[in-house]
Structure 1
């Protein structure tokens, strides 16, 4: 099959959607398909055409104020000039999917919305109401809608009345990466006096809740915080750390190799993802597979990971006091092995196979 994957950003950019598209695209190529990723580059610094692990990548310039919207009507014209067996658009929360829905000519149109109902800022949230009209058009033109969690599926079916089209195929991780990953195991004696590590991995946006982790550090004197990621909220987060006098206990990391990131997961004592809205939570799945206890905010798809043992939930609204209390309680319990082999945590090979099967269905 000739397949077009449409997304706002792609590798080397990082994020949940970017990871999802990259992992399935590379596996579809290995399965013998011709895959082209059509995406945007608002910076103008990346190659307009690329070949990454067998995947053809086409990047168009876009207007993306505040790293949002990714307005790129060129996608529509490009799709109109080319025929594909499948056009698979990703992310309700950016305009490339809308242009993909308009540009469909022949073949099947599949939509993975990564939908969580709200915008990432108060202003973007206001724009969600008028944008809903465009969103409804995307859903109406889709032959199939793939949701990555039960939470997202329920939101989509409620907001867009497309239950007949929806199917749940969760995101995945590379389970083989975690099979031989050695976690730091310390005896009680060795733990005495050791500074423990809190870990966050993801984009630096206000809605992700990293500020609450930083605010908790004055009361968590035995901990330091590793933040892996970049984004528009970094300057504000650094300012918070400085104002609280904890900047020396916060380590800022970005552009890590995969090996370095896996080491961060394995060596962390607690992983935190306090986002107010998520359609899945790949970094939570990876932390659990690494055997690292997780703390997440309830109220989104993250709650599906909560089991009261390996993953603990914090009720919304999140606050520093709730974070402090939950971290301390988590440290009282022994770390237990997590296999990661359940319906919530699949291997990308299985995810890709399920998506390929969805493409082939009439």
Structure 2
């Protein structure tokens, strides 16, 4: 089967959509399919064409003000000129999916929207109402709509009336990596969980809606903790300035462009992982932290709430207040010290299983 994956950005860019597309594309290639990722590069610095782990990648220059929208009508013309059995478009919140829908012709269109209804900033949120007209075009032309959580499925069905097309297939993780994580800890001596100084961890893009600022604002009252921030993005300078003004910059470590092995060590070495984002259709980093045996604090009000179980993962209500974050961090710390932290099997799936489920949608 010849499959086109359409997404705003792709590896080496990082993010939830980028991870999702990379993981399923490489597995579809191993299953014998011809997979081409059609994506954009606003910078013009990446290779226009290359093959990564068997996946063909083509990048078109795009107009992406504020790292958003990724306007690249070349995608439409490329799809019209090339033959594919299935077109799989990703991300409602960027224009490549619209160009994929317009270029569908008679081919099967699968759409994974990663939808969370509102924009990441006040300006983007304002644009969401007129943009919904474009969104309706994508959903109307899609043969199947894959949602990665019950939360997203409810939003999509309520906003676009596509209940007959939707199916829930969550994101996955590489479970094998976490089976060997304890051995990695033993071999390389990971600090954090066994040391006197405890570690808080955040992994993700540095944007205001991700809520990293709430963690930093809590740090003055969490003297026994250090914070590791893994990621990059437009909000970094403001976050660094905030840490400095609060006098906690010496206890905040900024990391980026880590190898996979280095990131796994961060998960394993952390005492508590935090993801306080207001807009999430799933939460891959939360799933990975839990798989590493690291308890989590997440913001309620999005798909992150589906991880909250009262033991391994606690939820903070919106509007988020630092007093509540501090309370939950101390609660998790006490639960672990009193051996009440449970690490029984989680409802988290491997990417191999997820890819098989998506392949079944292609063949339907």
Q: Deviations over 1:278-306 (max 9, x none)?
A: 00000000000000000000010000000
Task: Summarize the alignment of residues 314-353 of structure 1 with structure 2, pairs less than 5 Å apart.
Answer: 314-334=316-336, 336-342=341-347, 345-353=348-356
In the alignment, the residues of structure 2 paired with residue 339 and residue 326 of structure 1 have an alpha-carbon distance, to the nearest angstrom, of: 21
Equivalent positions of 1:275-354 (< 5 A) are 275-334=277-336, 336-342=341-347, 345-354=348-357
- Alpha-carbon distance between aligned partners in 2 of 1:180 and 1:48, rounded to the nearest angstrom: 36
Aligned CA distance change for structure 1 residues 66 and 300 (closer, same or farther; 3 Å): same
Give the whole-Å Cα distance in 1 for the aligned partners of 2:177 and 2:167.
28
Structure 1 position 105, deviation (Å):
2.0
2:362 corresponds in structure 1 to 359
What is the count of residue pairs matched by the alignment?
A: 355
SS for the counterpart of 2:11 is coil
Structure-2 residue corresponding to 1:14: 14
Could you say which residue in structure 2 is the equivalent of 1:34?
34
Write the distance in 1 (CA, Å) between the matches of 2:351 and 2:194. Answer: 39
Deviation at 1:106, TM superposition (A): 3.1
- Residues 327 and 184 of structure 1: CA distance in aligned 2, closer, same or farther (over 3 Å): farther
Offset of 1:337 from its aligned partner? 5.0
> Aligned with 2:280: secondary structure?
coil
Q: Does the CA-based 8 Å contact 2:185-2:265 persist in structure 1? A: no
In the alignment, is the contact (CA less than 8 A) between 1:285 and 1:340 conserved in 2? no
Alignment of 1:1-362 (within 5 A): 1-182=1-182, 194-334=196-336, 336-342=341-347, 345-361=348-364
Deviation larger for 136-145 or 327-336? 327-336
Please state how far the C-alpha of 1:191 moved relative to its aligned partner.
7.9
Change (3 A) 1:45 1:191: closer
TM-score (norm 1): 0.96
After TM superposition, give the deviation of residue 338 of structure 1 in Å: 2.8
**CA separation in 2, counterparts of 1:184 and 1:337?**
19
Unaligned runs of 5+ in 1: none
Instruction: List per-residue Cα deviations over 1:130-165 (Å, max 9, x = no partner).
Output: 000000000000000000000000000000000000
Q: Provide the C-alpha distance between the structure 2 equivalents of 1:251 and 1:26, rounded to a whole number of angstroms.
A: 33
Residues in 2 aligned to 1:180 and 1:40: alpha-carbon distance in whole angstroms: 35
Q: Is the 8 A contact 1:288 1:340 kept in 2?
A: no
Structure 2: runs of 5+ lacking an equivalent: 187-191
Moved more, 133-142 or 333-342: 333-342
CA deviation string 1:318-337 (max 9, x = no partner): 12111111111111102635
**Cα distance change, pair 54–326 in 1 and its aligned pair in 2 (3 A):** same
**Cα contact 1:84–1:106 (8 A) shared by 2:** no
Give the C-alpha shift of residue 339 in structure 1.
Answer: 4.8
**Corresponding residue SS for 1:128:** helix
* Cα distance in structure 1, aligned partners of 2:194 and 2:294: 19
